[in-house]
Every structure is written in structure tokens, then in C-alpha cells.
A and B are shown apart, each in its own frame.
Chain A
Amino acid sequence: MSDKSNWKIWEVFVRSKNGLSHKHAGSLHAPDAEMALKNARDVYTRRSEGVSIWVVESEAITASSPDEKEPLFAPSDDKVYRHPTFYEIPDEVGHM
């Protein structure tokens, strides 16, 4: 029993209104997904913060490691030509 009373951790994502993405709100414990949803309602949307909730078992998430930050993200740092401000367009042309 003691092991079971330590319920799994779930990550909670809340969509604050239609048109916006679900955003990570926090985590909680629950014995299954259905109760995780109910708990999420009480813990993270007491003030109409949401119109939709996702719950995902924390264990199911694969995360990139902070040690890989460099090799993962550095390659995009030297590609300034991917940004619009890289190009000089004369004022006469107008907004582009």
C-alpha cells in the first residue's frame, strides 16, 4: 500500500482560451489520468485560468539534456540570415 500511496506525477498543461496553445502550468500526483484531470481542475484552474486541460505522465516526457544545450542549439546561432533584419531594404520600398 505504501508504494501505491505515492502516486505517479503528472504534468499539467492548460489552454487559457481558444486560439492559444496549452501551456505548462505545473505538476501533481494522481492514481490515474482521469483523477489527474480532476485534481488539475482544482489545483490549477480555481480562477477560470483555463478552457482545456492536458495531463501527461511526467515519465512519458523525453527532455533534451542541459549538457547538450551547445551542440543542439548553437548551430542556429550563426545563421543570422534566417532573420528578416539581416536584409537591408531601402526605405523607399516601404514596409516589407
Chain B
Amino acid sequence: MGESHSLEERFQAYVDAENKIEPKDWMPERYRKTLIRQISQHAHSEVVGMLPESNWITRAPSLRSKLILLAKVQDEAGHGLYLYSAAETLGADRKDMIDDLHTGKAKYSSIFNYPTISWADMGAIGWLVDGAAIANQVMLCRTSYGPYSRAMVRICKEESFHQRQGYEIMMRLAKGTPEQIAMAQDALNRWWWPSIMMFGPRDEDSPNSAQSMKWKIKRKSNDELRQEFIDKTVPQAEFLGLTIPDPDLKWNEETGHYDFGEINWDEFYQVIKGNGPCNKQRLDDRRNAHEAGEWVREAANAYAEKEAQRRKEGNAA
């Protein structure tokens, strides 16, 4: 017991000195478990995040926007894969992680349980949802676990295209016909609150945060990140000439930040519990995609076996 205590102390000192932990280094079991949970949830969010957007691939208003949306959705798949790989370096099994997603045991970001009912939602998602994700991910580039940090660096580089393409969609609509402006405003109205909920519960209601901060898995608290995001986003909404749906939102001279209204935490917990507008649809779609892809995996196996057999025969001859 005394030994493990001192190992933990050495681990903490190592992390405190801003060293990165690599897969084969000793780490506390809870550090490993916390990371596997967080990284796999993050991976699931990227994968489920493809669904609300894929809804619009066949309905994109131009070939240009269709190509961009396809590239973006493909990126999300890639991001999911980087993250599953990072979790695997901790001893997690890919198949188990995916099973946990499909059985509902593992969570993913609640934001993807909201529907995408107009093209403007593609703009709002890129601008707000990816914007909020970037705030979190930029912070995670400095996380203490090496493979997670490296995955985040790759993701951040690619994610900034996502936010800019979303903002471009919003700019086009906001400078368009009255109907287009109304579409843009409607999308902002629906996505604003869920987006600022993405940072998670208030610090005082987030019991695991303190330990994650101590281990430097997280580098900033939920409330800090949320405030940063709001401060950055308000001027962007003003530029578009759109109104953020929060009557209490106002600049605070004293703090140098925007004050904002009360978040509907009831809604937040309801969606996490599975009662959001699209929870069931997302999981069904995810499971169907996995099952419908089974024949592709089987074909790939059959092909690999056949090729191996051919090589063997070629060598024998």
C-alpha cells in the first residue's frame, strides 16, 4: 500500500512538471479508466456527429456545398478513428467500445440528439457546435496523456475548416432574402442553448472535474470554457446581424466578460438520460449502419484470406 501511494505521488509530480504520460508508463488505474471513458465518449461523439449532417448531404443546395459537407463528414469519421486508436493504447478494445455505444452503455455528446431540420442548421452546427468542440479540443491538445494530446492536435487542425465553412453558410443566409435571414435566425435560436450546454454541468455540479484537472487531463473547467466560447461568439453573431436568444446576455464592464442567462439544466439532464428529440433515432441509425456494413467486413476478410492463400501458392510454385 505504501509503495502504491508513493507511485501515485511520483506520477502526480511527473504530471505537475508538465511531462506527458505515454502508453507503457505506469499510471493510476483511475487515470486509465477516466481516460478510456472520456476518449471513447469523445470518439463516439465524432461518429454519431456524422448522422445529423449526413441528413443534408443529398439535399445540399449546390455541388460546392455538397462536396464540402461530404469532406466534413468524412473528417468526423477520421476523428472518431484517431480517438478510438488513442483509447486502444490504454488497453481498451475497439469492439467493446463500439458495443458499449450500441447498447447505450456509453454516452456521446448530447448535442447530436437534436434534429437538423433546415439547411441553416448545417451553418449553425459548424459555427456553434464545432466552435464549442474546438474550445474544448484546443484545451485538450495540452492534456497529460500523449496519444490523446497528439490526436487532438490533428483534430484541431482539421476542425477549424469545419467552423469556418459553417460560418460561411451563416454569412450567406444572413445576407440573403428575408426568408434566408429568418432561417439563419431560427437555426441560431435552436442551437444556441444546446451549444453552450456542450461544456457540461456547472463546475460545482461536475464532481469528476477536480480530479481530471489535477491529473491535467482537463486544463480548464467547464465554466471557464463556456465563458470563453460565449465571449468569442457574441461578436460573431453581431457581425451576422443575428440575435442570440438570451435576453440576459450583456457585456459586463467589470469582469470583462459577457453575463448570460440561466441554462435549462433540466433539459440538459433529460437529453443525457435519453429523452432528447433524436436519441432513439441516432442509436438506431448507428446500429443499422454497423449491421448493414457487416457484409463489407466479411468481404474484406474473405479477400484477405484469398490473397494470403495466393501468395502461399505463388511461393510454393
- In the complex, what residues of A have CB within 8 A of residue B26's CB? 66
Given A47-B158, A63-B24, A66-B26, check contact A27 B78 (CB 8 Å).
no
Q: In the complex the two chains form, is B304's CB within 8 Å of A6's CB?
A: no
Q: Of the candidates B82, B94, B297, which one forms a contact with A26 in the assembled complex, judged by CB atoms under 8 Å apart?
A: B82
For the complex formed, measure the closest distance between the CB of B80 and the CB atoms of chain A, giving whole angstroms: 10
Q: Does B88 contact A (CB under 8 A)?
A: yes
Q: In the complex the two chains form, is B301's CB within 8 Å of A28's CB?
A: no
Q: Of the candidates A5, A26, A34, A47, which one forms a contact with B85 in the assembled complex, judged by CB atoms under 8 Å apart?
A: A26
Mark out the residues of chain B between 270 and 302 whose CB falls within 8 Å of any chain A CB in the assembled complex: 294, 297-298, 300-301
Q: In the complex the two chains form, is A66's CB within 8 Å of B85's CB?
A: no
Contact with A along B131-142 (1 / 0, CB 8 A): 000000000000
- In the complex, what residues of B have CB within 8 A of residue A26's CB? 82, 85, 150-151, 154
Number of interface residues of B (CB under 8 A): 28
When C-beta atoms are compared, the residue in chain B nearest to A31 turns out to be B304
Chain B binding surface SS class: helix
Given A5-B297, A27-B85, A32-B304, check contact A43 B158 (CB 8 Å).
no
- In the complex, what residues of A have CB within 8 A of residue B78's CB? 42-43, 46
Q: In the complex the two chains form, is A5's CB within 8 Å of B95's CB?
A: yes
Q: Does A9 contact B (CB under 8 A)?
A: yes
Chain A contact-residue range equals 20 to 34
The CA-CA distance from A57 to B63 in the complex, in Å, is 40
Q: Of the candidates B25, B71, B154, B298, which one forms a contact with A66 in the assembled complex, judged by CB atoms under 8 Å apart?
A: B25
Q: Does A51 contact B (CB under 8 A)?
A: no
Q: Does A1 contact B (CB under 8 A)?
A: yes
- In the complex, what residues of B have CB within 8 A of residue A43's CB? 78, 81-82
Q: Of the candidates B24, B75, B93, B94, which one forms a contact with A65 in the assembled complex, judged by CB atoms under 8 Å apart?
A: B24
- In the complex, what residues of A have CB within 8 A of residue B88's CB? 9, 27
- In the complex, what residues of B have CB within 8 A of residue A66's CB? 22, 24-26
B residues bordering A, Cβ < 8 Å?
22, 24-26, 71, 74-75, 78, 81-82, 85, 88, 93-95, 150-151, 154, 158, 294, 297-298, 300-301, 303-304, 307-308
- Add 10 more A-B contacts to A2-B95, A66-B22 (CB < 8 A): A1-B298, A6-B94, A9-B88, A26-B151, A31-B301, A31-B304, A34-B307, A65-B24, A66-B25, A66-B26
16 example contacts (A-B, Cβ-Cβ < 8 A) are as follows A5-B294, A5-B301, A26-B151, A27-B88, A28-B81, A28-B85, A31-B303, A31-B304, A32-B304, A34-B307, A42-B78, A43-B81, A46-B74, A46-B158, A47-B158, A66-B22
